[in-house]
């Protein structure tokens, strides 16, 4: 085992997709999912992906994380192609996957264990991550003793453990009630901003996307393709009351219009 060095906050990395197409091979034959995706995300940018169920949002995140391959095009994260196990990419999966036999602290420590890193700095880093997500008091609790919001905070701390330049979050707040969700939206947007991470959030909530993002990418179905690229020119830090502003509503309407267009399908 190696001893871990104190982990400084790594600034975000740029993400580029150029002409990316992806199909899955299924029992019924080839299923085209994503077609000709061109997307440039700046280092430190917060981008949301919205689109109907099945349009390929999770697939796109998995491609960027190196968890699934693609048929055509090129993808770079930082200056390299994606690869499974890169510790500069943090991923919060669509289903929260806390290990039920590990307490909160050990769940957050898991990425270090997998990377075979240990030493007193690991314990310090775990404590500072728990502090960051407001769970210092819950370090020794078990996953089943936590509320949904607390579980998502643990998953967030774990995804940040190795201080990735890129954070990928697949519908992380969908199981939460509206109040908790909005609270976490603002907290996580602030955290991503403070830490300078490049962040891609998948969400079905237009409000959440506008509240958190610098930019919203709307995807359409049949095939999954980009149908809207909308800049959110609302000041930071974001606050809950901003949801009521005219600009917020205008941007939300632009996103909804792009989604409606995307539902029509690009092929006869
Ligand atoms: N491993 C797989 N093998 C075969 N088909 C798959 C696989 N994963 C996803 N698909 C199919 O690819 C399409 C896109 O799936 P994906 O999970 O990327 O959609 P999504 O936009 O994330 O949907 P949701 O909003 O419901 O999470 C769907 O039709 C799905 O059935
Ligand atoms: Mg999905």
Write down all domains in the chain, each with its CATH number in brackets.
10-95+165-263 (3.40.50.300)
> What residues contact 21, with CB distance under 8 A and at least 6 apart?
32, 34, 35, 36, 37, 70, 71, 72, 73
The tens digit of pLDDT for each residue in 149-176 reads 899 899 989 998 988 999 999 998 887 7
CB of 56 closer than 6 A to ligand 1? yes
- Judged against a pLDDT cut of 60, whether residue 104 lies above it is answered with yes
Of residues 6 and 200, the one with the higher pLDDT is 200
Whole-number Å distance, alpha carbon 219 to ligand 2 midpoint, is 12
What's the whole-model pTM score? 0.92
CB of 59 closer than 6 A to ligand 1? yes
Q: Which ligand has an atom closest to residue 170 CA?
A: 2
Q: Which ligand has an atom closest to residue 59 CA?
A: 1
Q: Which residues surround ligand 2, an ion (CB under 5 A)?
A: 58
CB of 179 closer than 6 A to ligand 1? no
Mean pLDDT of the chain: 91
Are the beta carbons of 116 and 1 closer than 8 angstroms? yes
> Which residue lies with its CA nearest to atom 8 of ligand 1?
59
CA–CA separation, 227 and 243 (whole Å)? 24
The tens digit of pLDDT for each residue in 190-206 reads 988 888 999 999 999 99
> Which residue lies with its CA nearest to atom 24 of ligand 1?
53
What pLDDT does 5 receive?
A: 42
Ligand 1: which atom is nearest the Cα of residue 204? 25
The tens digit of pLDDT for each residue in 106-120 reads 999 999 998 888 888
């Amino acid at each position: 085992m190696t001893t871990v060095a104190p982990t400084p906050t790594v600034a975000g990395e740029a993400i580029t997709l150029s002409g990316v197409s992806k199909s899955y091979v299924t029992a019924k034959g080839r299923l085209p999912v994503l077609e000709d995706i061109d997307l440039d995300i700046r280092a430190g940018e917060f981008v949301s992906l919205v689109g109907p169920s099945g349009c390929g949002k999770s697939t796109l995140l998995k491609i960027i994380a190196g968890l699934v391959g693609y048929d055509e095009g090129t993808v770079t994260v930082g200056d390299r192609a994606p690869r499974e196990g890169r510790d500069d990419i943090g991923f919060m999966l669509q289903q929260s996957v806390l290990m039920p036999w590990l307490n909160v602290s050990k769940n957050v420590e898991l990425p270090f264990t997998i990377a075979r890193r240990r030493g007193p700095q690991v314990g310090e880093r775990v404590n500072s991550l728990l502090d960051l997500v407001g769970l210092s008091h819950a370090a020794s609790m078990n996953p089943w003793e936590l509320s949904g919001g607390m579980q998502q905070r643990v998953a967030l701390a774990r995804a940040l453990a190795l201080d990735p330049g890129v954070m990928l979050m697949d519908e992380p707040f969908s199981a939460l009630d509206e109040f908790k969700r909005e609270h976490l939206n603002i907290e996580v947007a602030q955290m991503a901003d403070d830490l300078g991470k490049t962040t891609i959030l998948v969400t079905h909530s237009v409000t959440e996307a506008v509240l958190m993002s610098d930019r919203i990418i709307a995807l359409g179905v049949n095939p999954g393709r980009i149908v809207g690229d909308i800049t959110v020119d609302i000041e930071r830090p974001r606050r809950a009351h901003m949801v009521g502003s005219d600009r917020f509503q205008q941007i939300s309407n632009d996103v909804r219009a792009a989604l409606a267009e995307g539902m029509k399908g690009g092929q006869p």
